[in-house]
Amino acid sequence: MKISPIKNVVFLTLFLLLFPFAVISQTIGERAFVKGIYGNPERMLTAGYQLDELGVNAVFVRRASLNPEFHATAKAQGCKVFVEFPTLNGKGYIETHPEAWPINAAGERAAPADWFMGICPTDPDFKSFRVEQLKETLRDYSVDGVFLDYLHWHAQFETDRPILPETCFCDRCTGLFEAAKALHIPSEGTAGRAQWVLENQEDVWREWRNEVLNQWVDDLGKILREEQHKALLGAFYCAWFPEDHGGALYKTLGIHVPALADRVDVLAPMLFHRMLARPVSWSGDYLKWLGQTITSAGPLVWPIVQAHDKPGEVSPEEFGKALQQGSSAPASGIMLFSEQSLLENPEKIQVMRDFYRGMRP
């Protein structure tokens, strides 16, 4: 069949117009799904495993576990290297800096929330301490991204019975709150000031606490982009629905998911179903909700799912279901918690290997 010159011109014009979009579509379609391990993945190498043979293409390494040898090996095995950064974890600092201790509504030092000990997020010396740690890490290593962890006010949420203290009512926090919101707290004493705030300005107080966390994300993100502009900024965060535990995600932890999504390149919801006494299917339900909550132009979504045997046992079969649910839309990546769980049960290593190696771009 002969094609007329006019049709040739039309075809060429359409081709030239649509070719860039075809290239972009092909590039997006072939973007590798991120398949990661969180924790200290170097232990997998020590045990004799190869990351690339396991189908792993990304490692999420605790800052304290990162070292030059592992960084080089992971890169040589085709992995992206992301660093977990313990943003508001107070352990190791608060013991010698009591001025950074979070103060509860009774005017007392907040007790540890199970194994976790948070910190007052407005303490300027602590923030300088974390900023210097981040800069040091970025000077020493070329990374593919930094994932902020413990990004919440003092609390414990990795359980079906969360510990949710009201903090922080230190003089610094209430003073900054007054200045930021142009108001005056008439009561005296820490407990009195806390009571007045919660009775008279609770909504404004919750809003301010969220703004404090958002400022941490903005400030650390700015440093990351100044030091390594191609690196991604990610955030691990509590995957509660907004209404769970009386709205504690926002009210107590200080997290507003849409505001966080506006500030990071990657959201990493912590889909620890067993810790929260949820069925495995809850992970898929959460991701469906998240997809409806953030815009299509929003951040990437790389959930972290539970392989860890606590509480009780996460069987290899259950772990496989967690991987399936956690990789559903809008996820474009997934990771598991943690390498220790795999090494304690090699059947889980096989489950991960089969799942990761069976995935296609």
Kindly tell me if the per-residue pLDDT of 13 is higher than 60: no
How far is the C-alpha of 264 from the C-alpha of 34, rounded, in Å? 17
Residue 198 lies in a domain: no
Residues of the chain above pLDDT 70, percent: 91
Res. 5: pLDDT tops 70: no
pLDDT at 18: 33
Q: What is the mean pLDDT of the chain?
A: 92
The pLDDT assigned to 361 comes to 45
Residue 349 CA to residue 10 CA, distance in Å, equals 55
Rounded CA gap, 87 and 22, in Å?
A: 41
For the chain, what is the domain count? 1
What CATH number has the domain bearing residue 310? Answer: 3.20.20.80
Which of these, 170, 240, 247, lies nearest to 202 by C-alpha position? 247
* pLDDT higher than 90, residue 292: yes
User: What 8-state DSSP symbol labels residue 308?
Assistant: S
Tokens of 352: 């991960």
Give domain status of residue 277, yes or no.
yes
Mean pLDDT across 4-27: 34
Confirm whether 67 is domain-assigned.
yes
pTM: 0.91
Element holding 267 (H helix, E strand): strand 266-271
Residue 23: pLDDT over 70: no
Strand partners, 319: none
pLDDT at 359: 84
Range of the domain at 296: 33-164+208-358
Question: Does residue 109 belong to any structural domain of this protein?
Answer: yes
Please give the Cα distance from 95 to 238 (Å, whole number). Answer: 26
> Does 28 map to a domain?
no
| pLDDT band, residue 22 (cuts 50/70/90) | very low
- Nearest Cα neighbor of 318 from 359, 348, 354, 284 is 348
pLDDT, tens digit, for every residue of 64-113? 999 999 999 999 999 999 999 999 999 999 999 999 999 999 999 999 99
Q: What is the DSSP string of 290-303?
A: HHHHS-TTS-EE--
What's the pLDDT at 297?
A: 87
Among the ranges given (28-32, 58-62, 132-136), the one the predictor scored with the smallest mean pLDDT: 28-32
**Residue 76 CB partners (closer than 8 Å, separation 6+):** none
Judge whether 6 lies within some domain: no
Task: Write down the pLDDT at residue 360.
Answer: 57
First to last CA, the chain: 38
Q: Which of 190, 83, 73, 98 is nearest to 142 (CA)?
A: 83
pLDDT of residue 295: 84
Q: What is the largest CA-CA distance in the chain?
A: 91
In the prediction, which pLDDT does 31 show?
A: 67
Q: Model confidence over 150-185: pLDDT tens digits?
A: 999 999 999 999 999 999 999 999 999 999 999 999
Note whether residue 272 is domain-resident: yes
Which has more pLDDT, 295 or 57? 57
pLDDT tens-place string over residues 221-234: 999 999 999 999 99
